[in-house]
Copies of this chain bind each other. A is one copy, B any other.
C-alpha cells in the first residue's frame, strides 16, 4: 500500500517507521516543521513537505497523527483523493471527518509513545474503526500487516478504552509520582519501591486485579489506615484526600462483596 503520514511527533514517527519496515511504500511525510518532516522522510524513503495543501492525493491511506486539537482543522484542508483518512487519537470521535470526507476511520495504537522508548508493535493493540466497509477493510489490512493484535472496535468502545487508559497509565503514574515525593522527603531511594511496582504488575498478568487487591483497605485494617492518614496529614497533606478517597473506594467494594 501507498501511505502518507501527517505529523512527525512520537506517534507519526513510530507508525511511519513500522509501516515502512513492514514493506509498505511511504509516499509523503508532512510536518509543520520542514526539517522534522525531512528527517523522518529520509528514514522511510519518502518525500517531505510542510505545506498541507501540497499533499499528493494519490495515497491509499492518510494517517493523521497530529495533536487531538488539530485534527479537525487539518481535516478541513486536506484532500486525500480516493484514499482513506484515519486519525490515531483515542479521544477523538470519528464524526470529526463527517461531511468533509467519505472514506475515513481511526487507526489507534493503544500505547504511550515517547521519544526515548520504542513502542513494540508485536505487543501493543492496534484498534481500528471505519466509516464504511471499504475503509474498515483497508485500515484493518494495513493494521494486520504491521501488528499481530488488531481489534475492530466501535466509537463507544474506543471512548471507554481511552478512559481506562487514563486510569492505568496517567493515574497510576501519578501515584508513582506521589510515592516518589514521599521518598524524597524521607531521604529514601525511590528505587526501593520498583521491585514492588514490578510485582504489582506481574500479579495482574495472570489474575483479575479486583481479586488480588491487598493492603489496609482490602483487609479493613482501620488502625493502619488511621496511622497512615495521621502520617500524611503531618508529612504530605496534599496526598491525604487522595489516600482517603481511594481507601474509601476499596472499602466500599469490600462491603459490596460481602
A: residues with CB less than 8 A from B are: 68-69, 91, 110-112, 114, 116-117, 119-120, 123-125, 127, 149, 151, 153, 156-157, 159-183, 185-190, 192-210, 212-218, 221, 223-224, 227-228, 231-232, 235, 238-239, 241-243, 245-246, 249-250, 252-253
Known A112-B196, A169-B214, A213-B174: A188·B161 in contact at CB below 8 Å: yes
Considering the complex, give the chain B residue whose CB is closest to the CB of A227: B91
Chain B CB count within 10 A is highest, among A157, A177, A198, A253, for A177
The listed residue (B205, B224, B235) touching A160 by CB distance below 8 A is B235
Query: In the complex, are the beta carbons of B160 and A117 less than 8 A apart?
Result: no
Does A173 contact B124, Cβ atoms closer than 8 Å?
A: no
Q: Specify which of B160, B188, B235 is in contact with A231 (CB 8 Å cutoff).
A: B160
A248 to B109, CA, bound (A): 27
- CB-based contact B177/A164 at 8 Å: no
With A68-B223, A117-B203 given, name 19 new contacts (CB 8 A).
A91-B224, A112-B196, A114-B203, A151-B189, A157-B187, A159-B227, A161-B192, A163-B228, A163-B232, A164-B182, A165-B179, A167-B175, A168-B200, A169-B197, A170-B213, A170-B217, A172-B200, A177-B208, A241-B245
CB of A105, distance to nearest CB on chain B (Å)? 18
Tell me whether B173 and A175 are in contact (CB under 8 A). no
* Cβ contact within 8 Å between A193 and B231: no
Interface of A is mostly: helix
CB pair A202–B167 under 8 Å, yes or no, is no
Q: How far is the CA of A223 from the CA of B167 in the complex (A)?
A: 17
**Could you tell me the distance between the alpha carbons of A172 and B242 in the complex, rounded to whole angstroms?**
12
Indicate if the CB atoms of B216 and A166 lie closer than 8 Å: yes
Evaluate contact between A214 and B167: CB separation under 8 angstroms: no
B residues within 8 A CB of A242?
A: 245-246, 249
- Asked if B186 and A111 sit within 8 Å, CB to CB, the answer is no
Least CB distance, A194 to chain B, in whole angstroms: 7
